[in-house]
Structure 1
Amino acid sequence: MLLRDIAHARAGDKGDISNISVIAYDIDDYSMLEKHLTAERVKAHFAGVVHGEVVRYTLPHLGALNFVMQQALGGGVTRSLALDAHGKSLSGGILGIDISDWS
């Protein structure tokens, strides 16, 4: 099972910072997200892409987690040679995290 089976994501960016929100489809799944989807796990998932700090913010009333990732866009929109310089595909990338071992 993948994260996309229980949540959706939205992304934003500013300079070399990507901001991803992961929102549970069902509020009952939020506690599982909060327990297992740590900043460390997200940073490990994006190894080689995110070179700076990853900070997680919790939004329990929304059933969401927000991750702010520094040095994530190859220098930012105007400096990166990446096809997706705005980092929008990172929201799709985070949903590929395998959650089969969560319980």
Structure 2
Amino acid sequence: MEERLVNNTLHNYAHARAGDKGDRLSLGVFVYQDAHYPWLIQQLTAERVSEIFKHRGISNVTRYLLPNLKGVNLVIDDALQGGVNSALNLDGHGKTLSSLLLSMEVTPP
């Protein structure tokens, strides 16, 4: 019998929305099930997010808890290579960076 590999990524448990202002990226992450909110807080630390985005030359990650919305807002400084008007990258607005975050491997709840 063939063994099936389970993909344990954040995407399986949450969705995200990205926004930007200058060189600052804001990522809102919200769990699909309210019961997973405490788990999200444990998995989605500023340190882990910094590791995922370090290749972009970020300088800081600030995490804001949103308990009433069962989410977390992550503000990432220097993530957009100068911002939409300065960067040569294809996604100057940072919208697809939420997909990068959702690809983070997690321990299932």
**TM-score scaled by structure 2?**
0.90
Report what 1:33 is aligned to. 40
Cα distance in 2 for partners of 1:40, 1:63 equals 20
Alignment root-mean-square deviation, CA? 1.0
* Structure 2, gaps ≥5 residues long: 1-7
Letter in 2 for 1:18: L
Superposition pairs of residues 28-67 of structure 1, within 5 angstroms: 28-67=35-74
Contiguous gaps of at least 5 residues in structure 1: none
- Helix, strand or coil for the counterpart of 1:83? coil
- C-alpha displacement at 1:102, in angstroms? 4.8
Q: Percent identity?
A: 43
Aligned counterparts of 1:74 and 1:32: Cα–Cα separation in 2: 31
TM-score (norm. length: structure 1) = 0.95
How far is 1:30 from its partner? 0.6
Matched, 1:96 2:90: no
Amino acid across the alignment from 2:102: L
Code of the residue aligned with 2:69 in structure 1: it is L
Aligned length, in residue pairs: 102
Query: In the TM superposition, what is the alpha-carbon distance from 1:88 to its structure 2 partner?
Result: 0.4
